[in-house]
């Protein structure tokens, strides 16, 4: 599955995925950065711990996710 933001006003998309390195089920949240830069804010959530990074484009984020995660499923979205 490709991580993407479907419209410019989306708040976030949330995914469930399996991390390849240890086969743990985790949550991934992606949204547009609030600073207006056009970057994507990407957050990996596991057992209440959040790790956030910023990505300049969907293409780069998807390349990263395709290597690190599998079985990604969209679980929630906030499109306004």
User: In sequence order, what are the beta bridge partners of 55?
Assistant: 40
Q: Which of 67, 65, 23 is nearest to 46 (CA)?
A: 23
Q: pTM for this one?
A: 0.81
* Cα separation, 76 vs 68, whole angstroms: 21
Instruction: Give pLDDT < 50 ranges for the chain.
Output: none
* Residue with tokens 């600073």, as numbered in its chain: 35
Contacts of 67 by beta carbon, 8 Å cutoff, 6+ apart? 20
pLDDT confidence of residue 77: 79
User: In sequence order, what are the beta bridge partners of 70?
Assistant: 18
For the four alpha carbons of 17, 28, 42 and 3, in that order, the dihedral sign comes to: positive
């Amino acid at each position: 599955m490709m991580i993407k933001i479907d419209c410019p006003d989306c708040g976030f998309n949330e995914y469930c995925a399996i991390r390849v390195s240890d086969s743990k089920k985790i949550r991934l949240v992606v949204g547009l950065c609030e600073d207006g830069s056009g970057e994507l804010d990407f957050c990996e959530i596991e057992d209440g711990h959040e790790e956030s990074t910023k990505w300049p484009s969907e293409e780069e984020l998807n390349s990263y996710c395709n290597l690190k995660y599998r079985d990604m499923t969209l679980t929630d979205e906030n499109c306004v």
